[in-house]
Structure 1
Amino acid sequence: MRRTSFPVSFMAMTRSPHSATGSGPHLAAAGAATSAGSLAPFRRRLSTRIVVLSTVVLAIVLTMIGGTLWLSWQLEGAGAAINDAGSLRMRANAVAIELWESRQGRPSRLDAQIDQLNETLHQLHEGNAARPLFLPDDVLIRRQFDRVATSWHERLEPAVQRDRVLGVGAPSAYLALLPGFVDDANHLVVLIERENAHKTAWLRTSQIALAALSCVGTVAIVYLLYLWFVVPVQRLQDGLARIEAQEFDTRLPVDTRDEFGHLAQGFNQMVAELQALYQDLAARVDVKTAQLAAQNRELRILYEMAAFLNTPGPVEPLCRDFLMRLMREFEADGGTVRIASAEDDNLHLLVAEGLPEEIVRAEQCMPAHDCACGAASAEEPVVVVDLRNLVAGAGAKGRMPAMSDAEREHAQYCLRAGFASVAVFGIVSQSEPLGTFSLHFRRERDMPPSEVQLLQTLGRHLGVALKNRRLAALARQLAVSEERNLVAQGLHDSIAQGLSFLKMQVHLLDGAVADGNLDEAREIVPLLAGGVKESYDDVRELLLNFRSKLESGALRPAVDDTVARFRRQSDAELTLDYRDEGGPPLPADQQLQVLFVLQEALSNIRKHAEAQHVHVSVVNRRDFRLTIEDDGIGYDPAEIAARGEAHVGFHIMRERAKRLAGTLTLDSEPGRGSRVELVLPAASRKAA
């Protein structure tokens, strides 16, 4: 096996540890004295060096370990081959003994011994990776094995077959050939043992090399880590000590591009700044103080504006307060907030402060691109510094295309009103332009990039606030629409059917009165009275259901009231099993949906089930479970499924369960009662 040694040139490529000492100029001289050619391969990040070094060492170690494992596996397989090759002699002698017993007319296991010897030869020839067992891959060993196998199959095995039919006194051809076969088997064993001894020597050598490599590699890694980490840290410590002694001309050599090289660059920059600060400390303190004050002002404005925009309220007062705050903070003389319309692609003036009535009337509604205010609704923030130069064709800062006649006209409005400059920014929510806001100044106003960025951020905050109010309004409209849909479904399921029945009875009553059939009229009048009473009861029940309003923890009293109302309206016996077994309370909206499902189920039972007993179970564990069972006439689930949404009561309950993200199960058979189960899993429960 080839021995692997740690390359000396690898260690030679690192810089000398003695280059870290010396004064400031001496530090630079020591770094420049390092060989550029030896450092070039390591001008990279420390993490890259460590990964490369670890990968190389790991690859070498794994290769050597794999080699030793392969050798040990070869030795194990060859050891098994030695055992089986040696057993050939024993089995050949056993065949001779069994052959003699057979010729004496005694019972023998001659065929079994022959089969075992053949099996041993087959195993040696084919090998067995599971044991493991295989002959070494050597020409002499393979040749000797072929000689042994040929001797057995072509000479000894046929001799056995001939000897077993001879008498006791006849000479045995097998015994005459046996010594030669045993000698060949012995020679095969010797060859395998010799090859095994050779591989054992290789295994010892590789283990010694692995141990040596571990020692050398450990020393080399420690040395490299010393060069890569300890030396730069010592150099930095020496530089810091000199800075503490106020030697501000100290500079560290930057001879690597790794993290310590960047750190040395930062150190040198820090020392240069310190040196400059000592030279002009007062001026720099004033500049830093002004920058800090500006940043604090920006943070204060952002914080106050974000807190203000998160308060609820109508859109117009919100935009007006937003504009007034900006005008006060930036000392603007006027301002506007314009909202983009999705229908006509125009900008509508929502709020205007400090502008003459002429501008307010002229710009109440204008196309989106007619001036800078419109351009900001589709482009990046536009900052116009000098309106006079802008009208003349120069002086616009920001992304402004060439001015059209309409844009010049709007700019003239501002100039006649006495405004010298205007700053315009977009109101944006998630890249969707919602409008613009502008600040007007009667003097030339230069707006630095920090203020531009601040106003752009405030425009995004206002856009988010406006978008949230639009979404909240849409959510309220959707909730009202859904609730109206449920009310309509409830009316259709109860009142509409009752009125249809009454209409039919009135038609029959009219026909009976016209025919003078008083007996039929007397029969119809009670039906009309009953239908009116049932419709009246349905109306009262719907009013009670849709006026229900729960607060957190009020589900049990509401369930008790619903059960009590059912007992008053129906002759069926109702039992309630309400168990609160440690589950968290449901929030008010989920409680209300659960109550609606219970009311709808009991209403269906009262109207259609003809039940004698009703059982209601409410179990509040980790999962919330509501079950309503009755012993009424039941229904055919296939018929209900075929009717689809025509059975409004079931459809309403399914919609309620869908709102809860729960599971509604409807189970029934004709004549066997019905069962309604609502399960609200823990994952769908909201915090109360």
Structure 2
Amino acid sequence: MPSPTLALLPNPLPPHKRLTFRILLMTLVGLGLTMTAIGYTLLLSWQLEGGGTVINEAGSLRMRSYELGLAMETGHERSDLQHHIERFSQILALVQTGQAGEPSFVPATGPIHEQLLHVQDQWQQRMQVHARTVLEADDPLLRQQALDRYLQDLPDFVGDINLLVAYVEADLTGKTTWLRLCQTALIFLALAASIAVLYLLYLWIVGPVRRMQAGIARMSQNDLDVRLAVESEDEFGQLAQAFNQMADHVQGVHRTLAERVAEKTARLREQNEEVGTLYEITDFLSGAHTIEALCDGFLKRIMQRMQADGGTVRILDERGNLYLTVQDGISDKIIDEERCIKVDDCLCGAATRQGVILVRDFRELDAQRRYRCQEEGALSLGIFQILVREQAIGSFSLHFLQERSIDGDERRLLETLGRHLGAAIENQRLIAREKEFAIAHERNLMAQGLHDSIAQGLNFLNLQVQMLEDSLARENLAEIHEIAPMLRTGVQENYEDVRELLLNFRSRLQDSSLDSEMRKSLDKLQRQTGLQGAITISGDGPPLAPEQQLQVLFILQEALSNIRKHAQAKRVDIAVTNGRDFCLTVRDDGHGFQLDKASAKGADHVGLRIMQERADRLGAQLQIDSRPDEGTCVTIRLMRQERLVA
């Protein structure tokens, strides 16, 4: 089942739906409101500062009006009067326009503006005219009259200035109230904006993040049914959609994974059973059994594994006949009819040529042909080859009373087991042949030993018996007395030879070591002949393998036997060196012989040939050094590469 794939996220959102657009818009709106409020408060502050300047300057105008009247009464110099008049006019102008660093605020309309214009008119048309008349007139009476009119109009003019100041103060009081209201509104606006920002952040960011965290936490607790509500069309809405798609994907994968795990578990269980069956049958086939026992144990285990109702194992012979070796669940009728068949007579024989034959239902095959297993009630059949080096040596079959199909894994297992059975059968055949060869080889050695000793002795006795018969016929008692001891001696020698051969061929190393057996052989020679002997063993090498130890012992016994029969020695020395190489040396002080002449005699010196054959079988080097009257030295050397592990 293919795993579901995650759908791609929707197309990029339009700008007005993005969360960043909302945050930017909220920031701009808040910034605009804040800047408007701050600007309005700055305007009010500037107006208040300008109103204060108007009040100060207007207050200075009242003082300067009185100063100008006092200066004219006291008769100040013209330059001082001129300075007072010009300064008054400047201050009156600055009340309306202001100056650098000192703003002056007079509304363009309204009572303050009208009152200021009225004060300016009174100054220009009345008060300034009286002051300049006092300054410029030469007639003292005229100056006095102008001064009197100035002083007379001064209270009304100062009253107009006071009214202007009152209007400005009233206006400043209202602006101060508005300024406080604006500052209070800014405080509440800041609080409201903070609350609104927190709410919107929770609504747009914190809430979706917490819902996302809760969904992830539930999913981490294996709640794969969790889904998030898509409550917006912004980035978090897209994340919620992606989370839901991911949850669908994980749930689908988990569902398919559970199915896959169950499938893999079942598959692994089947494979374990197959491996267990393969191991069990292979372990059984590796044991020492006869071919019939191998086939019987193999068939029973296969039938149990495959739950078959019957089965057979058939082996081919060299003539191409197929013999029924073992069977189980098969009727006696089939056993009698198919004990020996040709390979073309049935499906079991055909399988040895064409390979595996599987029949799921016999009713689907040719109804004109006879199948004996079908007549016995079998509905399904499986036949597999028994192979050795890709050559069929037989077949085994499984019979099922119910319809049964053999899948690919079971087929591979049965084919593999067929190869193992073939290898086990071939191993048993090779072991039997090896035993047969070993027996034949030992019989050959025994025959050579008999020929070298007993046969020659019997031939000598035969000649002596013929001479005895001739002496008896001639009634020559002297010859009879001479022949009788020779016959006794010959019989005794043959008896000793037979005993020695029997003991040599019955030698085993099951209960003792090679060293002790060599010492026993030397002790036996000393008891038989009375000669002196010694054996020295040195080296710290590992022991030889049992089969190699036995061959070394046989060679030693043969060498000692030759010394007893032919050497007429007085002393024999045996030296064994077991290091990286193994070396055995047997040295005597007997008559010796010429090796080339002994080799030329061939069959007359079977003992030498027996030692050489055993050395060749051992994989060792045999060296014989001998000269007449100088004794004989037999050396056998087994190199380290030829040594077997004990």
Q: What TM-score, normalized to structure 2?
A: 0.60
User: Matches of residues 617-632 of structure 1 in structure 2 within 5 Å?
Assistant: 617-632=575-590
Residue 277 (structure 1) shift: 3.2
Deviation at 1:282, TM superposition (A): 4.1
Structure 1 counterpart SS, 2:352: coil
User: Are residue 338 (structure 1) and residue 306 (structure 2) matched?
Assistant: no
Question: Contact 1:555–1:591 (CA<8 Å) still a contact in 2?
Answer: yes
1:300 aligns to what?
276
Specify the alignment match of 2:263 in structure 1: 287
- Is the Cα–Cα contact under 8 Å of residues 609 and 634 in structure 1 kept in the other structure? yes
Structure-1 residue corresponding to 2:452: 493
Q: Does the 8 A contact of 2:619 with 2:638 survive in 1?
A: yes
**Distance of aligned partners of 1:615 and 1:288 in 2 relative to their CA distance in 1, 3 Å threshold:** closer
> Could you give the per-residue CA deviations for residues 369-391 of structure 1, whole angstroms, max 9, x where no partner exists?
22221112122212122212122
Partner of 1:36: none
Does the 8 Å CA contact 2:295/2:313 hold for their aligned counterparts?
Answer: yes
Q: Residue 640 of structure 2 corresponds to which residue in structure 1?
A: 682
Q: Is the 8 A contact 2:312 2:397 kept in 1?
A: yes
How far 1:274 moved relative to its partner? 8.0
Percent identical among aligned pairs is: 46
| 1:311 pairs with 2:287 | yes
- 2:519, 2:535 within 8 Å by CA — same for their partners in 1? no
* Pair 1:683–1:280, CA change in 2 (3 A): closer
1:324 counterpart residue number: 300
Q: Conserved in 2, the CA contact under 8 Å of 1:630 and 1:675?
A: yes
**C-alpha separation between the residues in 2 aligned to 1:650 and 1:24?**
93
Quickly say closer, same or farther: Cα 1:469–1:323, change in 2 above 3 A: same
Q: CA deviation at 1:498?
A: 0.4
Tell me, in whole angstroms, the C-alpha distance in 2 between the residues paired with 1:280 and 1:534: 92
2:326 counterpart SS class: strand
Structure 1 equivalent of residue 390 of structure 2: 431
Aligned to 1:235: none
> 2:437 is matched with which residue?
478
Measure the CA separation in 2 of the matches of 1:677 and 1:281.
75
- Distance, in Å, in 2 between the alignment partners of 1:647 and 1:276 is 91
> Structure 1 residue 511: deviation in Å?
0.5
5 Å matches for 1:357-372?
357-372=332-347
1:592 aligned residue (550, 574, 592): 550
CA distance in 2, matches of 1:273, 1:458: 44
- Distance in 2 (CA, whole Å) between partners of 1:276 and 1:391 is 49
Equivalent positions of 1:450-469 (< 5 A) are: 450-469=409-428
The 5 Å alignment of 1:37-116 reads: none
Partner of 2:513 in structure 1? Answer: 554
In the TM superposition, residue 665 of structure 1 has moved relative to its aligned partner by 0.2
Amino acid at match of 1:370: D
Aligned to 1:381: 356
C-alpha distance in 1 between matches for 2:438 and 2:453? 23
Task: Find the residue that maps to 2:324 and give its secondary structure.
Answer: strand
Shift of 1:275: 8.9
Tell me the equivalent position of 2:143.
none
CA shift for structure 1 position 570: 1.5
**Conserved 8 A contact 1:340-1:435:** yes
State whether residues 552 and 588 of structure 1, in contact with CA within 8 Å, keep that contact through their aligned partners in structure 2.
no
Residue 447 of structure 1 corresponds to 406
CA contact 2:382–2:397 (8 Å) conserved in 1 = yes
- Displacement of 1:587 in angstroms is 2.6
Distance 1:627 1:650, change over 3 A: same
Cα shift at 1:588: 2.4
Deviation at 1:317, TM superposition (A): 2.7
**SS of residue paired to 2:508:** coil
Indicate how the Cα distance of structure 1 residues 277 and 340 shifts in structure 2: closer, same or farther if over 3 A, else same.
farther
Counterpart residue type for residue 679 of structure 1 = R
1:477-524 alpha-carbon deviations (Å, 9 max, x no partner): 111111111111111111001000000000001101101111111111
Aligned residue pairs total 409
Q: Structure 1, residues 392-425: CA drift from partner, whole Å, max 9, x if none?
A: 4xxxxxxxxxxxx8xx33x1x2222111111000
Equivalent residue number for residue 166 of structure 1: none
Cα distance in 2, alignment partners of residues 307 and 530 from structure 1: 59
Contact 1:632-1:672 within 8 A present in 2 as well: yes
The change in CA–CA distance for 1:650 and 1:456 in structure 2 (over 3 A counts) is same
Displacement of 1:349 in angstroms is: 0.7
Q: 1:552 Cα deviation (Å)?
A: 7.6
- Give the alignment of 1:261-280 within 5 angstroms: 277-278=253-254, 280=256
* Letter of the 2:417 counterpart: L
For the pair 1:611 / 2:586, whether they are aligned, the reply is no
Cα separation, partners in 2 of 1:597 and 1:336, compared to 1, 3 Å: same
1:506 and 2:465 are equivalent in the alignment:
yes
Q: Encode CA deviations 1:239-290: one digit per residue, 9 max, x unaligned.
A: xxxxx9x9xxxxxxxxxxxxxxxxxxxxxxxxx9989634634433332232
Q: Contact conserved, 1:552 with 1:587, CA < 8 A, in 2?
A: no
Q: 1:561 to 1:274 in 2, by over 3 A?
A: farther
Cα gap change, 1:283 to 1:595, in 2 (>3 Å): closer
Counterpart secondary structure, 1:280: helix
Instruction: Give 2:629's match in structure 1, choosing from 655, 662, 671.
Output: 671
Asked whether the equivalents of residues 593 and 627 of structure 2 are also in contact (C-alpha less than 8 Å), the reply is: yes
Separation in 2 of the partners of 1:562 and 1:274?
Answer: 84
**Structure-2 separation of matches of 1:416 and 1:599:** 67
Task: Tell me the equivalent position of 2:501.
Answer: 542
Residues in 2 aligned to 1:363 and 1:564: alpha-carbon distance in whole angstroms: 63
| Separation (CA, whole Å) in 2 of partners of 1:428 and 1:672 | 62
SS in 1 for 2:330: coil
Structure 2: distance between partners of 1:494 and 1:281: 84
Instruction: Tell me by how many angstroms 1:338 deviates.
Output: 0.7
Structure 2 spans left out of the alignment, 5+ residues = 1-5, 10-219, 223-247
Instruction: Give the alignment partner of residue 356 of structure 1, picking from 331, 340, 360.
Output: 331
Question: What letter matches 2:271 in structure 1?
Answer: Q
SS at match of 1:586: coil
Contact residue 624 and residue 632 of structure 2 kept, 8 A: yes
Letter in 1 for 2:296: R
Closer/same/farther in 2, CA of residues 674 and 284 from structure 1, 3 Å limit: closer
Change (3 A) 1:507 1:387: same
- The verdict on how the C-alpha distance between 1:498 and 1:385 changes in structure 2, with shifts beyond 3 A counting, is same
One-letter amino acid matched to 1:436: S
Partner of 2:176: none
Q: Give 2:593's aligned residue.
A: 635
Paired amino acid for 1:328: Q
Match of 1:532 among 484, 491, 495: 491
Q: What amino acid is the match of 1:331?
A: Q
C-alpha distance in structure 1 between counterparts of 2:486 and 2:547, whole Å: 40
What is the DSSP-based 3-state SS (H/G/I as helix, E as strand, rest coil) of the residue aligned with 2:345? coil
SS at match of 1:377: helix
In structure 2, C-alpha distance between the alignment counterparts of 1:563 and 1:424, rounded to whole Å: 62
Amino acid at match of 1:326: I
Question: Could you tell me how far apart the structure 1 residues matched to 2:384 and 2:490 are?
Answer: 66
SS state at 2:358 partner: strand
The corresponding residue for 2:95 is none
User: Residues of 2 paired with 1:445 and 1:542: CA distance?
Assistant: 64
CA RMSD in angstroms comes to: 2.7
The residue type paired with residue 401 of structure 2 is: R
Once the two structures are TM-superposed, the CA of residue 646 in structure 1 deviates from its matched residue by: 3.8
How many Å separate the matches in 2 of 1:459 and 1:313?
Answer: 17
Q: Secondary structure at the match of 1:391?
A: coil
Alpha-carbon distance in structure 1 between the residues aligned to 2:323 and 2:490: 56
Counterpart CA distance in 2 for 1:655 and 1:370 is 50
Residue 592 to residue 332, structure 1, CA distance change in 2 (3 Å): same
Q: Secondary structure at the match of 1:378?
A: helix
Note the C-alpha offset of 1:598: 1.3
Conserved in 1, the CA contact under 8 Å of 2:311 and 2:329? yes
**Alignment partner, residue 35 of structure 1:** none
Cα separation, 2, equivalents of 1:324 and 1:499: 58
Shift of 1:579: 2.0
- Per the alignment, residue 238 of structure 2 pairs with none
| SS of match in other structure, 1:667 | strand
Cα offset, 1:468, TM superposition: 1.2
